[in-house]
Amino acid sequence: MKQIALYGKGGIGKSTTSTNISAALSVMGLDVLQIGCDPKRDSTRMLMHGRLIPTVMDQVRERGDKAITQEDVVFTGYGGVRCVEAGGPEPGVGCAGRGIIATFQVLERLGALHADVVVYDVLGDVVCGGFAMPMREGYAQEVYLVTSGELMSLYAANNICKAIRRLSGRSRGQCRLGGVICNAKNLPDEKQLVATFAERIGSTLIQFIPRDPVVQRAELNRMTVIEYAPGSDQAEAYRLLARNIIENRRLDIPEPLEIAELEDLAYDFIAD
Amino acid sequence: MISSRTEGCTLTGALSVTSSVQDAITVIHGPDGCAHHNFSLLHALHFDNDQLILPSFLSSSLKEQEIIFGGEQALEDALAGALAGSPGAIFVLTSCVAAAIGDDVMAVCSEISGCPVVVIPSGGFLGGGFSDGVRSALIALSDLADGGDPNGTVTLVGEKNLEYEAEANYHEVRRLLGLLGVKVQLRFVRNIDVSAIAHLGSSSLNILREESLTDVGDVLEDRFGTPYLPSFPVGFEGTLTFLSQVADALNIGSREAVSSEMARQKEIIDQFSELRGRAINVCHPGGMPPLFLNELLELFDLQVKERGQNLPLPDPVPVGTSGISRMLSRWKRVLHA
């Protein structure tokens, strides 16, 4: 079983990337489980044709921890991909990080964490211990950073490297950085910039995903690109990404950059 | 960090104050364990001091669900439960976890009508200890006071509700004030009702239990203009000074009271004359011997020697002439004098 986690700045396209990876893997004949680890609960929506599935936390709240079964929290979407949403509190109250921890405990107890590939799609930033849960021992061993060439997005990715580094330093920590996914914003030299960033943190650019209006069209039709436009170049880019991830053997302990280094890097590309 | 015997949980400190308001209910916004542990601790300590007190605590019973989704509803429910008991006031104390998840306790409590509600932030993880909880609670409870013209009385501030000699110390201070013809209007806070707190602003002088409460004394002085003495009296000489300081603050004479107390002290010194010249050893934590100890060494010509008889030094230090007298009785027993 391969377990991967996608992290990156809020709004960078983690869910779009995750659902398309999951869809592409399922088309390859693999059994896939995607777990949305964000209280916004919209990670798996495109796999579920626009449906916001009941979340683990909602179910626990309504029916109690002991009363729920796998059927209550695991829903099958496009290509047989099994979808789970952790859920969490309304914005502004409670502790969403604790919600992620509790979700993992429930999924463990239900024996739901099994598949050829488990894809964890995690909230924008590792704001507390709870959101690092998918990186802990026994869960995702490979983290993929989703970033564009924008400085703020690189900054968030760099920050997540600190969490990976911290967790990989533990004696039983198995979490490593699998690579950097460039989800492009169509900036000049963006691929080169993100590839250089990946190299500088001691990793590699695993796939460049161009910006394409087909992504929006697919989402308006409540589908992944893999399902909506399987013959498109964009779908091919996602399939390549999925294959690269499956075949990836390179796992690194990243070296996060200092903020000044990061700025210099971005500046070099803008100045060019 | 090794645990210290002098500090502890902020919540426990605050509860040692609020639980002494007899017609109030204290809501502990936290897991049941925080309420239960403190209930047991306070109950056991009071029981040790020969008082059967069942503190009036109510827990908001936070569990994992409330931590994830927010505990404000649980607090509302607990407040409704507290209101049903028609208390004189509700004190809301926050546990560590309620503070960590950022429940807006103030906002929830401001919705309550029909009963005064006082919020006392008491999450211990913020770095405070037991005495910070005591100070916060005293300052928060002073919100229930009205102002008022000084009426010549005294308020005792921050009696140590959990100390063995709390009542004996109170009686000693009351006796001393009685020598001056001064009355204690309010014990803030020990075995009182909510309504009594209203009078806090009208005493002419506040007497703090000990110097660690000067922050509280300052706040009360700012708010009500009441001057304060920083501590209950300690030592023979300290007790005489205390009488003069109270008299000065209240603008009354102290000569008679001081001479009457001096006579009493002389009697006590005579009564313990068997202690004179004995070789002793006293263990006092903190290095420097307290002033009242030096005074006694001199008065009784006691010789401090490494191999002298070990004598117990009470903690907290004895209050007033009677406190010294009780300590000397214990010394006398130990020395078989």
**Residues linked to residue B154 through DSSP beta bridges, in sequence order:** B184, B205
Residue A270 phi, psi dihedral angles, 5° rounding:
-70, -40
Residue B24 phi, psi dihedral angles, 5° rounding:
-105, 160
Chosen for mutation from A90, A98, A100, A103 (greatest number of chain B CBs closer than 10 Å) is: A98
Question: According to the model, what pLDDT value does residue B315 have?
Answer: 84
Question: According to the model, what pLDDT value does residue B53 have?
Answer: 84
**Does some domain include residue B53?**
yes
Complete edge-to-edge strand list for the sheet that includes strand A75-76: A75-76, A82-85, A32-37, A117-122, A2-8, A142-147, A176-183, A205-209
Q: What is the mean pLDDT of residues A50-78?
A: 94
**Residues linked to residue B120 through DSSP beta bridges, in sequence order:** B93
**Does some domain include residue B294?**
yes
Among the candidates B205, B226, B261, a domain finishes at B261
Among the candidates B144, B167, B192, a domain finishes at B144
When mean pLDDT is compared across A12-16, A138-142, A247-251, the lowest value belongs to: A138-142
How many structural domains are present in chain B? 3
- State whether B302 and B332 are in the same domain: yes
**Does some domain include residue B149?**
no
Count each helix (H run) and each strand (E run) in chain A, helices first: 10, 8
**Does some domain include residue B293?**
yes
**Does some domain include residue B224?**
yes
Q: For the stretch A242-272, what's the b/e string if a residue is b when 16 or more beta carbons lie within 10 angstroms of its beta carbon?
A: bebbbebeebbbbebbeeeebeebbeebeee
Give the number of beta-carbon pairs within 8 Å between A and B: 38
CB-nearest to A98 from B68, B72, B103 is: B68
Q: Give the DSSP letter of residue A150.
A: S
Quickly state the pLDDT bin for B337 (edges 50, 70, 90): low
Q: Sort out which chain A residues have CB atoms less than 8 A from B64's CB and list them.
A: 98, 102
- State whether B65 and B194 are in the same domain: no
Domain harbouring B205, CATH code: 3.40.50.1980
Question: According to the model, what pLDDT value does residue B5 have?
Answer: 65
- What CA–CA distance (Å, rounded) separates B207 from B180? 15
- State whether B252 and B317 are in the same domain: no
Whether the per-residue pLDDT at B281 is higher than 60: the answer is yes
- State whether B133 and B228 are in the same domain: no
Chosen for mutation from B62, B69, B73 (greatest number of chain A CBs closer than 10 Å) is: B69
Question: What would the pLDDT profile of B315-329 be if each residue is shown by its tens digit?
Answer: 889 999 999 999 999
Cα angle value B12/B18/B23 (rounded, 5°): 145
**Does some domain include residue B103?**
yes
Which residues of chain B are at the A interface, by a Cβ-Cβ cutoff of 8 Å?
64-72, 100-103
Which of A209-218, B102-111, B282-291 has the highest average model confidence (pLDDT)? Answer: A209-218
Quote the minimal CA–CA distance from A107 to chain B in Å: 16
Q: What is the mean pLDDT of residues A225-232?
A: 98
Answer yes or no: do B65 and A61 touch at CB < 8 A. yes
- State whether B238 and B296 are in the same domain: no
> Mean pLDDT of all residues in chain A?
94
- State whether B158 and B195 are in the same domain: yes
| Nearest C-alpha in B relative to A61 | B65
Cα angle value A70/A76/A79 (rounded, 5°): 145
Whether the per-residue pLDDT at A272 is higher than 70: the answer is no
Answer yes or no: do B65 and A60 touch at CB < 8 A. yes
Whether the per-residue pLDDT at B291 is higher than 80: the answer is yes
- State whether B16 and B137 are in the same domain: yes
Chosen for mutation from B29, B62, B63, B68 (greatest number of chain A CBs closer than 10 Å) is: B68
Question: According to the model, what pLDDT value does residue A171 have?
Answer: 77
Q: What is the mean pLDDT of residues A44-65?
A: 94
Q: By residue range, what is the domain housing residue B176? A: 154-261
Just list the catalytic residues of A.
9, 14, 40, 125
Among the candidates B117, B144, B171, a domain finishes at B144
Residue A61 forms contact with B (CB below 8 Å): yes
CB-nearest to A57 from B66, B68, B101 is: B68
Q: Sort out which chain A residues have CB atoms less than 8 A from B95's CB and list them.
A: none
Question: According to the model, what pLDDT value does residue B237 have?
Answer: 96
Closest by alpha carbon to A244, among A210, A206, A201? A206
**Does some domain include residue B209?**
yes
| Nearest C-alpha in B relative to A105 | B64
Question: What would the pLDDT profile of B254-266 be if each residue is shown by its tens digit?
Answer: 999 999 999 999 9
Answer yes or no: do B69 and A61 touch at CB < 8 A. yes
| Neighbour tally for B172: CB within 10 Å | 23
Question: What would the pLDDT profile of B178-236 be if each residue is shown by its tens digit?
Answer: 999 999 999 999 999 999 999 999 999 999 999 999 999 999 999 999 999 999 999 99
Read off the amino acid at residue B233: P
- State whether B163 and B220 are in the same domain: yes
Give me the percent of chain B exceeding a pLDDT of 90.
81
Q: What ipTM is given for this predicted complex?
A: 0.80
**Does some domain include residue B9?**
yes
- State whether B140 and B158 are in the same domain: no
Question: According to the model, what pLDDT value does residue A45 have?
Answer: 97
- State whether B107 and B177 are in the same domain: no
- State whether B103 and B37 are in the same domain: yes
- State whether B129 and B62 are in the same domain: yes
Q: Sort out which chain B residues have CB atoms less than 8 A from A102's CB and list them.
A: 64, 68
